Amino acid sequence: MNFFYCKNCLMPSTRPRITFDEEGICNGCDWAKKKTTCIDWEARWKELEQLCNKYRCTDGTNWDVIVPCSGGKDSYSIAWSLKNRLDMHPLLVKVSAHIPTTVGDKNMRNLADQGFDLIEITPNMRTYCALTKRAIIEQGRPQQVFETAITTAILKIAVSFKIPFIMYGEEGESEYGGKMDMAEKASKNRNWIVETYFSGVDTMSYESDGVEKKDLKWWAFPRQDELDEMGICYTHWSYFQDWNHLMHYESAKKMGFQPVTSLSVEDGVVGFGTYTDYTSLDDPYMRTFNTYLMFLKFGFGRGSHEASSDIKRGIITREEGIKLAKKYDSYDCIHFREKLLERFEMSRKDWDQMVDRWANRAILEKTDGRWQLRKELHYALDINNYADIGKGS
């Protein structure tokens, strides 16, 4: 099995569902180029206006669109546009972070100060933690249970409040290099969501030792016919507007969004795991933990992920991105590992076993007790850009 990188960004061939063209360019980069050349964004915006016209509540009796919201820069920007440019009445819905931060809470509260209605769903923490611990051990996916809830719990609110229009942020598969079949479609269905976002794991399988059906109300996924009956429109902002995280950051700052400086002071953590100071501030610990597992399994981490977006946007060069990837990708959560162990009732031995279990030995090697990308692969593939790594993991 050959291991190689996209010749434009830093995504490796081990990334799930990625594809490459004959020039060695990944589908995420290909899509980034198409977005500037082939997509009629004016027509897409008109499509959005029509959708808003279809769902808008004009008599003041209800909200008309749900914005799943972490309190991050993207949800700020989307909520503002829906309200002020499209005359909608958004209800912002957040699923609680496992380990909240002061700056994340402030950014969320500030949205209410800016005139938005918010709901925060805090699941039963015993169930939330038990399910997450299982996902860490069995799938190596610390955010699997949270990511499921930001679909299923949001749908529960949509059904309960009779708001069939749901506007997410970016569609990550097409945006970052994955399945492309939904890049050209405005609305997603249940099967596609289970297959793509939940890695084929339906929420019904969560019911097992110690977790009963009654504990899973926030993870109960309605059937497709129930969603059809309600006329659900489950869509992403990135379908209607070229996804530009820096533009969102600039507009969020105008609304009082705070970057990481507060996090470092008030939460006792200096920027870790990445070079940006404005991403995943509501739950940086779990986000960084999740990307560490991604690094162990596939050989790319949060540095590569964020640098690849910036390379595609022309904000940094590939060479600058490689330096950032080398610096941040193998960051092993050392500054907040104790928080994670406490949250999920794991011992240090459990942690070490979990890390060693997920480390992909075909691409990683352990140096000074820490898993690193093997030296011959370490982004030094510009020369011949592939290496035989045997069968992989």
Q: Do strands 90-95 and 117-121 pair parallel, antiparallel, or not at all (unpaired)?
A: parallel
Q: Which of 3, 14, 15, 29 binds Zn ion (CB under 5 A)?
A: 29
11 versus 167: smaller Cβ distance to Zn ion: 11
Q: Which residues ranging from 101 to 160 are in contact with Zn ion (CB under 5 A)?
A: none
What are the residues facing 238 on neighbouring strands?
none
Q: How far apart are CA 72 and CA 91, in angstroms?
A: 15
Q: Which is nearer to Zn ion, 18 or 108 (CB)?
A: 18
Q: Least separation, in Å, of the C-beta of 21 and Zn ion?
A: 10
Indicate which single residue of 3, 5, 9, 65 sits in contact with Zn ion (rule: CB under 5 A). Answer: 9
**Looking at 28-36, 180-188, 346-354, 364-372, which segment touches Zn ion (CB under 5 A)?**
28-36
φ, ψ for residue 8 (rounded to 5)? -100, -50
The candidate with the shortest Cα–Cα distance to 377, out of 368, 389, 367, is 389
Q: Are 43 and 225 in contact (CB under 8 A)?
A: no
User: Least separation, in Å, of the C-beta of 13 and Zn ion?
Assistant: 11
Nearer to Zn ion, 6 or 322 (CB): 6
* C-alpha to C-alpha distance for 20 and 30, rounded to whole angstroms: 9
Task: State yes or no: residue 10 binds Zn ion (CB under 5 A).
Answer: no
Burial profile 137-168: b = 16 or more Cβ within 10 angstroms, e = fewer: eeebbbbbbbbbbbbbbbbbbbeeeebbbbbb
Give the residue with the Cβ less far from Zn ion, 8 or 279.
8
Which span (7-15, 187-195, 353-361, 379-387) binds Zn ion, by CB under 5 A?
Answer: 7-15
Q: How far is the CB of 32 from Zn ion (least distance, A)?
A: 8
Minimum separation from the CB atom of position 28 to Zn ion (A): 5
State in angstroms the smallest separation of the CB of 175 from Zn ion: 12
- Cβ-closest position to Zn ion: 6
- CB nearer Zn ion, residue 240 or residue 300: 300
Three-state DSSP at 233 gives strand
Q: How far is the CB of 360 from Zn ion (least distance, A)?
A: 20
Segment near Zn ion (CB under 5 A); pick from 5-13, 223-231, 247-255, 349-357: 5-13
Task: State the Cα–Cα distance between residues 251 and 233, nearest whole angstrom.
Answer: 26
Residues in the chain: 393
- Tell me how many residues contact Zn ion (CB under 5 A): 6
67, β-bridge pairs:
92
Chosen residue from 6, 111, 131, 149 binding Zn ion by CB under 5 A? 6
Identity of the residue, 176 or 351, whose beta carbon is nearer to Zn ion in the bound complex? 176
* Shortest distance, position 308 Cβ to Zn ion, whole Å: 6
State how far the Cα of 363 lies from the Cα of 15, in Å rounded to an integer: 13
CB 118 within 8 A of CB 112: yes
- CA distances to 90, 334, 373 from 112, rounded to whole Å, are 12, 34, 44
Among residues 18, 26, 255, 260, which is the contact residue for Zn ion, using CB under 5 A? Answer: 26
Single-letter residue type at 279: T
C-beta closer to Zn ion: residue 26 or 136: 26
Give the nearer residue to Zn ion in terms of CB position, either 29 or 95.
Answer: 29
What is the helix (H) or strand (E) element at residue 105, kind and residue range?
helix 102-113
339, 275 in Cβ contact below 8 A? no
Q: Which range binds Zn ion by CB under 5 A, 8-16, 100-108, 118-126, 284-292?
A: 8-16
- CA 147 – CA 171 distance, rounded (Å): 13
DSSP-derived letter for residue 59 is S
Q: How far apart are CB 181 and Zn ion at their closest, in Å?
A: 19
Stretch that binds Zn ion, among 18-26, 157-165, 181-189, 267-275 (CB under 5 A): 18-26
Q: How far apart are the C-alpha atoms of 213 and 41, rounded to whole Å?
A: 44
Residue from 3, 5, 8, 18 in contact with Zn ion (CB under 5 A): 8
Q: Residue 26 or 97: which CB sits closer to Zn ion?
A: 26
CA distance linking residue 203 with residue 199, whole number of Å: 11
Question: Closer to Zn ion at the Cβ: 26 or 252?
Answer: 26
> Can you read off the two tokens belonging to residue 144?
């699997």
- State how far the Cα of 247 lies from the Cα of 178, in Å rounded to an integer: 24
DSSP character at residue 26? B
For residues 52-91, which are near Zn ion according to CB under 5 A?
A: none
Q: Which residues bind Zn ion (CB under 5 A)?
A: 6, 8-9, 11, 26, 29
